[in-house]
Amino acid sequence: MATIPWLVDVLRAAGVQVVVEGDWLNRMRPGDFNPIGVLWHHTASTSSATNPHPALNICINGRPDLAGPLCQALVDYHGVFHVISAGRCNHAGVSGGSGPIPAGDGNTLMIGWEIDYNGVDQEMTAAQYNASVAATAAVLTRLGRDASYARGHRETSTTGKIDPSFIDLDVMRADVAAKMGGGTAWSSIVDNTTAGRFTASAAWGVSTYSGQRYGADYRYADPVAVSDPAWYRFNVPAAGNYRVDAWWPANSGYNSATPYIVATTTGNRTVYVDQRVTGGQWRTLGTFALPAGDANRVAVSRWSSASGLVIADAVRLTRV
């Protein structure tokens, strides 16, 4: 395979928004290109709603020390895929080997997404994450590879790359696998807006402030040493082990030790998370034994010793 001229069609068929950037079918580096996987990067540029793709020009044209194109697609702040190249690009350098991706020429082996966020004090947006999961699933399906062929640059790099920051790559692969339909495990999501499945007192405000929110909005409350949890109710199909994931928007003003309570078969278990970081994606709280039945199963507690707002957005259970 010398090129992947199917890329735009495959992305659009997966519901990913695409902008074609000029002569993408003929813009590429010379050399071999036989991709077997997908590599995630961040650009290190600060994007925003009004400046959604600050690194686009560099990804197309390169920079003085590295000739463009620098990726097959750039993912902007809104989750739009800007498709730059159907061929080999300078994104991966040498692969040291990671999972099923062997050591070798990373630019031959992998298709690269440059996700436009700075990775230091800015995380990936929820729109970027969801679009990148959908695009990765669609491309790996086209390549005939499973989700283990999705990697992060920090996993394959031999030169100490850190990208993509703030992302748990094992959770990313689990989300890609779920999108590919590879798993038939029971899974259920309760958002703070899910009818009949979320309860919280009037002390919990409603916010749309962060673009990392799951769904329309999320709930927030001041930390306080009283029992006033927000509860998520699930209809657990059978007693067994379930992975519990939580999604929150992150902000420097949010709580660094937010308690999540999981009501297990052997009593309540509490897991503390730092809601100042790693927002806009599923984060695993752990795997717990749960009883069957329809009941309040996971809560966000306000009883935190740390300052900053506690956030209740979405919770996901998956049978393992």
- Stretch of 56-64, 99-107, 145-153, 309-317 contacting Zn ion, by CB under 5 A: 145-153
Q: Which is nearer to Zn ion, 106 or 308 (CB)?
A: 106
CB of residue 161 vs Zn ion: minimum separation in angstroms? 5
The residues, any chain, with a CB within 8 Å of residue 252's CB and separated by 6 or more, are 276
Closest by CA position to 8, among listed 73, 71, 90, 75 = 73
> Judged by CB under 5 A, which stretch of 53-61, 118-126, 162-170, 207-215 contacts Zn ion?
162-170
Quote the least distance from Cβ 163 to Zn ion, whole Å. 4
End-to-end CA distance of the chain: 37
Residues 249-278 binding Zn ion (CB under 5 A) are: none
Least distance from Zn ion to the Cβ atom of residue 205, Å = 38
Least distance to Zn ion from the beta carbon of 114, Å? 7
Other CB atoms within a 10 A radius of the CB of residue 84 amount to 28
Give the CA count within 13 Å in the CB-facing half-sphere of 112: 32
Order the strands of the 230-236 sheet from edge to edge. 198-199, 230-236, 293-300, 258-264, 267-273
Q: Is the dihedral of CA 114, 62, 77, 309 positive or negative?
A: positive
Is residue 154 within the footprint of Zn ion (CB under 5 A)?
Answer: no
Q: Does 163 bind Zn ion (CB under 5 A)?
A: yes
Report in angstroms how near the CB of residue 84 gets to Zn ion at its nearest: 15
Q: Is residue 151 a contact residue for Zn ion (CB under 5 A)?
A: no
Pairing relationship of beta strands 205-207 and 218-221 according to DSSP bridges? antiparallel
As measured in angstroms, the least distance from the Cβ of 153 to Zn ion is 3
Name the segment binding Zn ion (CB under 5 A); options: 4-12, 79-87, 159-167, 275-283: 159-167
Contact (Cβ atoms closer than 8 angstroms) between residue 141 and residue 13: no
Of 131 and 261, nearer to Zn ion (C-beta) is 131
Interacting residues with Zn ion between 125 and 144 (CB under 5 A): none
What's the Rg (C-alpha) of the chain?
21
Q: What residues between 22 and 51 interact with Zn ion by CB under 5 A?
A: 41
| CA-closest candidate to residue 202, choices 225, 223, 224, 230 | 230
Applying CB under 5 A, what is the total number of residues that bind Zn ion? Answer: 3
Residues that bind Zn ion (CB under 5 A): 41, 153, 163
